[in-house]
Amino acid sequence: MDGWMDRWIWRDRYGWMDGWKDGYGEIGMDGWIWRDRDGWIWRDRYGWMDGWKDGYGEIGMDGWIWRDRDGWIWMDGWMDMERYGWMDGYGEMGMDGWMDGYGEIGMDGYGLMDGYVEIGMYRDGWIITGALWMCIVLNPHCKTEQKAAWLRQLKKWNSVDVCPLEDGNHGNELPNLTNALPQGAHGNQDSGTRPHRTVFTRAIEACDLHWQDSHLQHIINDDLYTNYCYHDNTENSLFDSRGWPLWHEHVPTACARVDALRSHGYPREALRLAIAIVNTLRRQQQKQLELFRNHKKDLLHKGVTSITNLEGWVGHPLDPIGTLFSTLMETGRGDEDSSQGGFLDFSASTMSSSKHSELHLFPSTRRFLEEGESYLALAVETALMGLGQQRIMPDGLYAQEKVCRNEEHLIAKLQEVDLDDTLVKIFRKQAVFLLEGGPYSGLGELIYRESVPMHTFAKYLFTCLLPHDAELAYKIALRAMRLPVLESTAPSGDMSRPHHIVSVVPNRYPRWFTLSHIESQQCELASTMLTAAKGDARRLETVLESIQKNIHSSSHIFKLAQDAFKIATLMDSLPDITLLKVSLELGLQVMRMTLSTLNWRRREMVRWLVTCATEVGVYALDSIMQSWFTLFTPTEATSIVATTVMSNSTIVRLHLDCHQQENLASSARTLALQCAMKDPQNCALSALTLCEKDHIAFETAYQIVLDAATTGMSYTQLFTIARYMEHRGYPMRAYKLATLAMAHLNLSYNQDTHPAINDVLWACALSHSLGKNELAAIIPLVVKSVKCATVLSDILRRCTLTTPGMVALHSRRNSGKLMSLDKAPLRQLLDATIGAYINTTHSRLTHISPRHYSEFIEFLSKARETFLMAHDGHIQFTQFIDNLKQIYKGKKKLMMLVRERFG
């Protein structure tokens, strides 16, 4: 096949495909594959696309053809699948449809997998394939030679390097759990020694299973199979205390038997085995509860727990709980549809009659149900037991996602059932078991650090139990709020297991790929409790404590705070002050959690908290301002908190009188001054703004600025505050701050576009407007800080245009004469400007290139204008030009341009 690909590309290269490419313009072969169905028809003519077109046309033919040559080579063998007997041997069981399904689902992933690339969306199809083969090899009436042929074929597929792994994780090594049976089966050694478990491993292991166990045969064939004289009360006893049969086997394997019986046309036998399995689970649950109660004190004292199941039943590849649930529910619906109630008869005599006659009743099958119990109730109880099982979080993204999906799917099925009094009793019973079940329950007092969380399941239990038993509902939900995997001090537990569970995996700490989903479910559970507890102060306080203890995501706590705020301030009722306080407490916790960490929603959180505190009341606003340093940064406290508190909208919202307004404003000003002292660079201007109406506070803020000006503030900040002071009508204070800013500034000769230039020009203009003395004081600072000739010349010209002090404060007037350039302070500025031009000229000439010659000539022209402002400027400029000609005579072309312009 690879050779064919090369020939096909060769034809394209040499014009065989020119007409196709021309017809589709610039799209190319890649675009053509996706957009033009005629292309597929053309390939169909050559016999390659039969059966591929429909399956792959819409999905991945592009990736298949262009990206994976090895897939083609391997798929060549797959094309001859009829030789392996998949279709011929099992066409009657729907294998044709299964192959068509793999055209769309599985084989693309199988053929496309590059060695060990995750096949993603196709993995569900492969898991279904493995379960289907499990059903095939567990056919109770298959022949030995058939099973041997299946085993050879399964091993062959299993040995292919690209055979998908069961859990999608390449590092997991589970023992042979399928063969952990009381029958004494030894298991398949070849698969047991493989480093990884593929989707076919369980089917290979199941080839060693048999149906010859006499106890198993009696269970599936006899409605009256009981032993009331059986008194063996051991863990693996064959009957319970009522004489009902039990079936002890690895639960997923036992349920796979049920699935196989149903799939091969034995629904009555499947139901009998399902009932025996559920009764066994219920007996085990009771035994586990008694065992834990006997050792509860020691376990709680040690503070550790054990893992009772490495393979959880929910999310398992064989879906044991789903199998039991669907088996019992189908029979339960048959009961509801039948006027007499009973069981469906699939015996040989009725199988030949019409479908209507199949609804024949067998009251004896109900022998193994409790009095008044229905199959529907048994199905619900089974689902509750499975969902509440404590189980370790599996490795791998796929396996963890499957746990979440299966849990949600099973809960969705439960939600379709209408609760009656009988089911409510079952819910109560299972809720008590879960709370008191110890290490066997995901809701026990102690759980292993990496157990699958119970948030989604507990939310469902909470909503079901709340109308009937609120106390129990809250106990369940509050217990489920735990997420020990995020607790740094959580007990690690141990990996010891009961003796009837086989083997154990070494210590491992898997990455929780679904952690964000789990945390969101935890948040949903908390939100559900907050909504239900509205108006109940005691419940709200308990829920608040649980949230603060167990939720570690600031984003989720913030969401809960917002949810509580919305619920508390619904438009159709008065605000619930208790729930508002809970919302505020959650907001305060968010502030503390995010104070020293980066969070892009931080400003939104701060604004929301102020809004929430405003709704709670003036005392809440005063409280957050008093303790601002534990909640906000100085910048947030001044620019958001204090500013919002002193706004008119807040005052109107709170309906404050004058005295209350003044007290609140006083707290805000105190906060602003504290922030200014702690962070003058970022808070001084806000503090000045907030303290404008209080003279003492304003003077205090101004003094804080002066104290920080020499060390802690930059020239940009000082210039900003100086401009603010001028705007507020304090020109002398503005001048003072401008001189302090100039001391921090340093403009070099080539920084003629520096952003501080406008501030320097403004400071000089301010000084000039105040008078000669102020101008004389600032010019030395300008000369020291500014080395850029063009900036100095600009300042010089502005100072010579008007008389200093013409717009000075208090209508002060000078003599009205322009300042002389021959006297201080302008003489110093003029000399500095000329010196700057000379230094800049030499600096430019050091690395000048011909393309900058014209620009340099223009620069000299501006320099001449400045030179001429001096009394002897003409002579100085002539000497300057002569020096240039002498020093840089090697730059002949440039000097020629200088002579042409300046002589």
Categorize the per-residue pLDDT at 107 as very low, low, confident or very high, splitting at 50, 70 and 90. very low
* The token pair that represents 218 in the structure block: 């009696």
Residues 113-172 have pLDDT tens digits of 333 334 445 777 888 888 899 899 999 988 889 999 999 999 999 898 888 888 775 444
Question: 439 and 382 in one domain?
Answer: yes
pLDDT-wise least confident of 426-430, 503-507, 777-781: 503-507
Question: 316 and 202 in one domain?
Answer: no
Question: 256 and 129 in one domain?
Answer: no
Question: How far apart (Å, rounded) are the C-alpha atoms in residues 632 and 626?
Answer: 11
Question: How far apart (Å, rounded) are the C-alpha atoms in residues 413 and 421?
Answer: 19
pLDDT score of 545 more than 70: yes
Residues 109-120 have pLDDT tens digits of 333 333 333 444
Question: How far apart (Å, rounded) are the C-alpha atoms in residues 882 and 877?
Answer: 9
Question: How far apart (Å, rounded) are the C-alpha atoms in residues 891 and 897?
Answer: 10
For residue 510, what pLDDT is reported? Answer: 52
Question: How far apart (Å, rounded) are the C-alpha atoms in residues 375 and 368?
Answer: 11
Question: How far apart (Å, rounded) are the C-alpha atoms in residues 543 and 478?
Answer: 7
Q: Would residue 322 count as lying in a domain? A: yes
Largest CA distance in the chain: 133
Question: 242 and 388 in one domain?
Answer: yes
For residue 191, what pLDDT is reported? Answer: 37
Question: How far apart (Å, rounded) are the C-alpha atoms in residues 394 and 173?
Answer: 11
For residue 817, what pLDDT is reported? Answer: 63
* The token pair that represents 628 in the structure block: 């601002």
Residues 764-803 have pLDDT tens digits of 999 989 988 898 899 999 999 999 998 998 898 888 877 7
Residue 473 to residues 420, 421, 467, Cα–Cα distance (Å): 17, 16, 9
Task: Using the 3D structure, point to which of 151, 176, 210 is the last residue of a domain.
Answer: 210
Long-range contacts formed by 600-607: CB under 8 A, 24+ apart: 601/555, 601/558, 602/636, 603/636, 603/640, 605/558, 606/632, 606/636, 606/640, 606/641, 607/640, 607/644
> What's the average model confidence in pLDDT over 404-412?
95
Do residues 219 and 225 touch, judged by C-beta distance below 8 A? yes
pLDDT: which is higher, 152 or 437: 152
Q: Would residue 695 count as lying in a domain? A: no
Q: Name the residue with tokens 């001859």.
A: 80
Residues 853-872 have pLDDT tens digits of 888 889 898 889 888 888 88
Q: Would residue 555 count as lying in a domain? A: no
Categorize the per-residue pLDDT at 302 as very low, low, confident or very high, splitting at 50, 70 and 90. low
> What's the average model confidence in pLDDT over 722-749?
93
pLDDT score of 818 more than 80: no
Question: 272 and 143 in one domain?
Answer: no
Give residue 185's identity as a one-letter amino acid code: A
Question: 383 and 282 in one domain?
Answer: yes
Question: 277 and 203 in one domain?
Answer: no
For residue 186, what pLDDT is reported? Answer: 37
Question: 308 and 162 in one domain?
Answer: no
Structural domains in the chain (count): 2
> What's the average model confidence in pLDDT over 214-222?
89
Q: Would residue 292 count as lying in a domain? A: yes
Task: Using the 3D structure, point to which of 387, 422, 452 is the last residue of a domain.
Answer: 452
Q: Would residue 570 count as lying in a domain? A: no
Q: Would residue 587 count as lying in a domain? A: no
Categorize the per-residue pLDDT at 175 as very low, low, confident or very high, splitting at 50, 70 and 90. very low
Give residue 899's identity as a one-letter amino acid code: R
Question: 434 and 303 in one domain?
Answer: yes
pTM above 0.85, yes or no: no
Residues 679-695 have pLDDT tens digits of 999 999 999 999 999 99
How many residues in the chain? 903
Question: 415 and 316 in one domain?
Answer: yes
> What's the average model confidence in pLDDT over 465-480?
96
* The token pair that represents 11 in the structure block: 């034809």
> What's the average model confidence in pLDDT over 639-645?
94
For residue 891, what pLDDT is reported? Answer: 83
Q: What is the mean pLDDT of the chain?
A: 77
Question: 243 and 144 in one domain?
Answer: no
Domain that holds residue 326: 236-333+369-452
Task: Using the 3D structure, point to which of 431, 452, 473 is the last residue of a domain.
Answer: 452
Categorize the per-residue pLDDT at 18 as very low, low, confident or very high, splitting at 50, 70 and 90. very low
Categorize the per-residue pLDDT at 734 as very low, low, confident or very high, splitting at 50, 70 and 90. very high
Residue percentage of the chain with pLDDT more than 70 = 72
Query: b/e map of 520-555 (b: 16 or more CB within 10 Å)?
Result: bbbbbbbbbbbebbbeeeebbeebbebbeebbebbb
Q: Would residue 685 count as lying in a domain? A: no
Q: Would residue 543 count as lying in a domain? A: no
List CB contacts of 382: < 8 A, sequence separation 6 or more.
Answer: 278, 281, 321, 324, 325, 328
Question: 264 and 153 in one domain?
Answer: no
